[in-house]
Structure 1
């Protein structure tokens, strides 16, 4: 069996959960509470984990000896006890965990099915990668809505390869999701260091416990991230690799400065509203992506580097958006923008980019002299289940990015350089395109109404912020 086969078998277990009345959106959460116990056991048996992280009462071989109502009651009590375990990481993983299973036979079915999987084959690629595959499968199922925190793995792998993180560097994702960026960075470093064996014991401990830090607002998503990290051998501090908190609130202001930032901040506006509440950012804005961008370049060390996925509106929003882009280009060398294809994220019509930059100094000015733009959007396939995005789609960009002598390919090419003074003359907008997109006129490829409405709201919010600033300068109060 290959990994895809095993992932498909794991996903098929959701039929058992459905038979017990568990909602589609809760499939993975319910499944991984049990799956993690199995994977922790398998990783310990194979030596991937040097010792059990779970206490004796919560180990797989204990569950397999029980049946019927005794099994279901024992499992319920186990989840409750794990949520208050003395190990803060285990307690965080199982915080508020409870099973919605009501039929003992369904729990027995799940345990039997997990036991019957070919775990020897699964170990070849690593159980962490198998777990990643399950999360990706969940994200690709549109009904689950999980795609909102799942960045396509080919994109993550391409970004990480270009930033080339090194052992000893600190790496942060302030919108961690299921920790895809952090795990990819760890995998990259392990590949460069013979799975860390080239490092000293002290250096290995740093990589496991201090190199990576993420923050995630949603408790359920953070649970998936903590499990994901632990299965990949990343333990973090007492709170785990990914901390629970709001980066755009006071918790974010206490995050440390780091060598590398890798992030895909959430798109759009959270249901129920609630904008940034931090008071340490230079520019006040209700646009969450602009607030995240400020955090990212402010929390980079001098010389640090970043890659952040952002929607188009961040590149052209007026008012405070212009101020933030100008501040970014002063403090950092914004050397590259990658215009991403549409259809690779959960909102099919959303248009996104990756901004690559290097921090110069908080006191620096005019750090950006020119910006290179690679257009991977115009005349690209319509990505989806029939045409999946792969790492090969980024090959030409990676070659152009990494070239020691970058070449401007002109008006018919995908890679071009634009001077900072030219960008300033056009109002510091970074929404730069030049290729005629033959697909753009296809009505089927137009953004969904919700995406268009969101972009309109972002534009209006930017205009309102600008008007409020003018009134403030005139000494006029702004009505709430």
Structure 2
């Protein structure tokens, strides 16, 4: 039995939850509360964890053992006690955790089903990967809405391959979601370390507790991230690897400066006019992707590097968008843009890119003079749930990027019809299109069938109009004028 088989079996157990009247959106939350207890036990037996994270009363053996008492009452008590644990990370994970299961027989069925799975065959691949596979399965079900928190693993792995994080570096994701970037970075560093030399005890402690830091706004998503990190052997400090808070608010100022930042920030407009409230973010905007981008380049250490997923409008928007782009290109060397294919995000119809840049300094000017753009979108297949893209699709991009994580490898343009070209920044800006360079003739000109759903197009238009109105009102407010209704 492989990881995917186990994920499918776990997903099949959602039928039990449905029979108990539990909503689709709560399936994963219910499963992972149980699954974390089971996997903690499996990790102990397999030697992945050296000691139990869970107290004895909350371990799988006790939960699954036959008993005369009501298993549902016992389970509810376990969740309550864990939320009050003296272990701060456990208390954070189980804060306000509760089950919506109403019938003991359904809980018994879930416990029996999880117990019946042959876990031995996947131990070599890591039980945490099974857990992450369950999160991916949930994200792939568009109607669950979980896709906004999940970045496809092939994209994450490709980004990490070219940025090549190392032992001793602080790695940040200010919009951590379920922790995919942080976990993949840790796995990459472990694999490289195993190929090279054994790291010291001091280095191991740093990697386990201080190397990775993230922030997530949504309580349930942050719970998944903390569990996911623990199952992958990343403890973090007293608060856990992923902190609960709004990066664009005061909590974001507490994130330490990082050597590497990897992120897929949320897109769209902050509703209710609630843009960034931090005084250290100098550009006033309600567009979340722009505010996060400013946080990211300001939070890098000098010499640090970043890869950030952004929608197309970040490349060409005027006004505050242009100001943030110019500030980024002054403080950082923006050396590579990857135009991503359409349809790769489970719950988003927007077109996206990855910006790769290195921090020079907060006082630097004109740090970006040219940028390399790799077009992985034009004349590519229409990826979707039925036709997913894989890591292999990134192999040509990775070869073109080169071995230097700072983008300094010798590079070769692939010609006027090729996918990789170098552009002079001043010339691009003079053309009035920002950084949105398109040069390959599209042999598959979009027709009505290729366009996103009308509802997606309409929502994008609404978001753009709302953002423009809110930005205008912000300016009017500073001028003491009446706002536009």
Give per-residue Cα distances to partners, 1:209-244, cap 9 Å, x unaligned: 000000000000000000000000000011100000
Task: Name whichever of 197-206 and 461-470 sits farther off.
Answer: 461-470
2:210 corresponding residue in structure 1 = 210
1:144 corresponding residue in structure 2 = 144
Distance 1:22 1:411, change over 3 A: same
Distance 1:394 1:72, change over 3 A: same
Residues 291-306 of structure 1 aligned to structure 2 (within 5 Å): 291-306=291-306
Shift of 1:408: 1.7
What is the DSSP-based 3-state SS (H/G/I as helix, E as strand, rest coil) of the residue aligned with 2:280? coil
What is the DSSP-based 3-state SS (H/G/I as helix, E as strand, rest coil) of the residue aligned with 2:286? coil
TM-score computed with the length of structure 1 as normaliser: 0.96
Tell me if 1:412 matches 2:417.
yes
2:440 corresponding residue in structure 1 = 435
2-structure distance, mates of 1:51, 1:448: 50
Residues 78-93 of structure 1 aligned to structure 2 (within 5 Å): 78-93=78-93
1-structure distance, mates of 2:11, 2:467: 43
2:483 corresponding residue in structure 1 = 479
Tell me if 1:382 matches 2:382.
yes
1-structure distance, mates of 2:348, 2:417: 27
Shift of 1:369: 1.1
What is the DSSP-based 3-state SS (H/G/I as helix, E as strand, rest coil) of the residue aligned with 1:194? helix
2:111 corresponding residue in structure 1 = 111
What is the DSSP-based 3-state SS (H/G/I as helix, E as strand, rest coil) of the residue aligned with 1:283? coil
Task: Name whichever of 283-292 and 438-447 sits farther off.
Answer: 438-447
Shift of 1:268: 2.1
1-structure distance, mates of 2:275, 2:266: 12
1:351 corresponding residue in structure 2 = 351
2-structure distance, mates of 1:431, 1:253: 31
Distance 1:471 1:59, change over 3 A: closer
Contact 2:473 2:483 in 1 (8 A): no
2-structure distance, mates of 1:463, 1:73: 52
Residues 383-398 of structure 1 aligned to structure 2 (within 5 Å): 383-398=383-398
Give per-residue Cα distances to partners, 1:315-370, cap 9 Å, x unaligned: 11110000000000000000000000110113453100000000000000000010
2-structure distance, mates of 1:436, 1:200: 53
Task: Name whichever of 209-218 and 66-75 sits farther off.
Answer: 66-75
1:72 corresponding residue in structure 2 = 72
Contact 2:270 2:286 in 1 (8 A): no
Contact 1:321 1:462 in 2 (8 A): no
Contact 1:319 1:462 in 2 (8 A): no
2-structure distance, mates of 1:63, 1:385: 37
2:155 corresponding residue in structure 1 = 155
1:173 corresponding residue in structure 2 = 173
What is the DSSP-based 3-state SS (H/G/I as helix, E as strand, rest coil) of the residue aligned with 1:443? coil
Give per-residue Cα distances to partners, 1:18-60, cap 9 Å, x unaligned: 1111101100000110110000011011111110000111001
2-structure distance, mates of 1:471, 1:96: 42
2:201 corresponding residue in structure 1 = 201
The alignment covers a number of residue pairs equal to: 479
Task: Name whichever of 64-73 and 430-439 sits farther off.
Answer: 64-73
Shift of 1:122: 2.1
TM-score computed with the length of structure 2 as normaliser: 0.95
1:448 corresponding residue in structure 2 = 453
1:308 corresponding residue in structure 2 = 308
Shift of 1:198: 0.8
Distance 1:251 1:267, change over 3 A: same
2:406 corresponding residue in structure 1 = none
Q: C-alpha root-mean-square deviation of aligned residues, in Å?
A: 1.9
Give per-residue Cα distances to partners, 1:37-84, cap 9 Å, x unaligned: 000011011111110000111001111224576211110100011011
Shift of 1:469: 8.1
Task: Name whichever of 339-348 and 256-265 sits farther off.
Answer: 339-348
Tell me if 1:188 matches 2:188.
yes
Contact 1:341 1:380 in 2 (8 A): yes
Contact 1:260 1:305 in 2 (8 A): yes
Contact 1:325 1:428 in 2 (8 A): no
Shift of 1:144: 1.0
Contact 1:68 1:105 in 2 (8 A): no
What is the DSSP-based 3-state SS (H/G/I as helix, E as strand, rest coil) of the residue aligned with 2:449? helix
Distance 1:466 1:243, change over 3 A: closer
Distance 1:335 1:431, change over 3 A: same
Structure 1, unaligned stretches of length 5 or more? none
